[in-house]
Amino acid sequence: MKRRTLPTLPTANLGLLERLYKYGVVWIVLFIIFFMVHSNGNYLFRTVSSLGFVGMAYLLVVFTNKVLIELLLKRNRVVLFILLSILVLPVWAAAFSAIDSVLVHFIAERPFEEIFSFPSLFVIFMVRLVWFITIYALVLIFYYQRKENEEKVISDQLKSEKLDMELRYLKSQINPHFLFNALNNIYSMVYTHDDNAADGVLKLSEMLRYVLVDCQAEMIPLSKEIKYVENFIDFHMMRMAGQRDVVFEQDVEKEDFMIAPMLLQPIIENCFKYSRLETHPEGFVHIGIYQKGNVFRFEAVNTIAPNVVTNIGNGVGEKKSGIGQINVQQRLMLHYGEDYRFDIQQDNGIYKVKIEI
């Protein structure tokens, strides 16, 4: 159901009105307007009457804010708020009409019989009533606009906090998963007395520094993500004997192009996990990172066993939720909204992933 709102003022104008009210400019302007439109030609009477009107208007604003809004409207006493509003406005108009009539008698020297005649007094009352209704309505519009702005600020803060929590959660999923696999690789190299074990520990320390330090920022330079990918590929290649068809292509215009950290890691990890590089002579992994202008593009192509079923939500061949495409897609959505493309294709033992931001 669509929520119905009162007419609104821009936030900048709202702040300006608050400052004008605080420093009394509003009352000076109100005095000038009432003085200019006053029907009586006696300047002394118009001055005193205008001062009286400003005083009554100020009291109405205070009463509306402190009593009608603070004590009734904010406490959801809507019926009492409406009834008291209906009562207050005519009382205010009648009181000021009476004051104006007395001022006319003593300053403009008009007889009471003429002043308090029904047509004359009724016209004065109705004019004052319209003035006070207008002021009352402006106070309410001002209140609802300020309330809506405050609610929007709170809502934006909550959305921002929720977004930050979701992103932290998604990144926290990646870190233990990456560390677990990396330590397994190190263990395998040490256990088999692989000469690359020492270099593997060095690569792992560089990757851990990236994961635990650099990735704490919301966005990082693309050069750091590329360096991580290079280390990740080298780390996996260390325990594979012989030549392997692994290609990492990069064509980057601006190395300081900002990107969400660890965005590509789950995809690259799946490339090596399911490409059968160690067991299949035709297995391959081809990875490309391209950036030009404001566009970033990532492509990953790898072989995959024909009987492996792709589960786009949970990573290749995984039957339960975990690290994989679901993590990447959620982070893309949280960071970039609708300004991205995420395409996955599987055909004849070839698996392709494309990301464009």
**In the 8-state DSSP scheme, what is residue 282?**
T
pLDDT of the residue at 4: 42
Instruction: Name the percent of the chain lying above pLDDT 70.
Output: 73
* Range in 170-174, 225-229, 246-250, 304-308 the model is least confident about: 170-174
299 within 8 A of 352, measured Cβ to Cβ = yes
Closest CA to 37 of 156, 163, 155, 134: 134
309 within 8 A of 274, measured Cβ to Cβ = no
pLDDT digits (tens, 9 = 90+) for 298-321: 999 988 876 655 544 444 444 443
Residue 25: count other Cβ atoms within 10 Å of its Cβ: 13
315 within 8 A of 325, measured Cβ to Cβ = yes
pLDDT of the residue at 314: 40
Give the amino acid at 275. S
**What's the rounded Cα separation, in Å, for the pair 146 and 124?**
33
pLDDT of the residue at 298: 92
Q: Cα 322 to the chain's mean position, in Å?
A: 28
pTM score, whole prediction = 0.49
pLDDT of the residue at 186: 74
Instruction: Report whether pLDDT(345) > 60.
Output: yes
- For 45, the enclosing helix (H) or strand (E) is helix 43-63
Instruction: Report whether pLDDT(119) > 80.
Output: no
Which two three-digit tokens encode residue 158?
């909550």
pLDDT digits (tens, 9 = 90+) for 36-61: 877 666 778 788 888 888 888 888 88
Instruction: Report whether pLDDT(258) > 80.
Output: yes
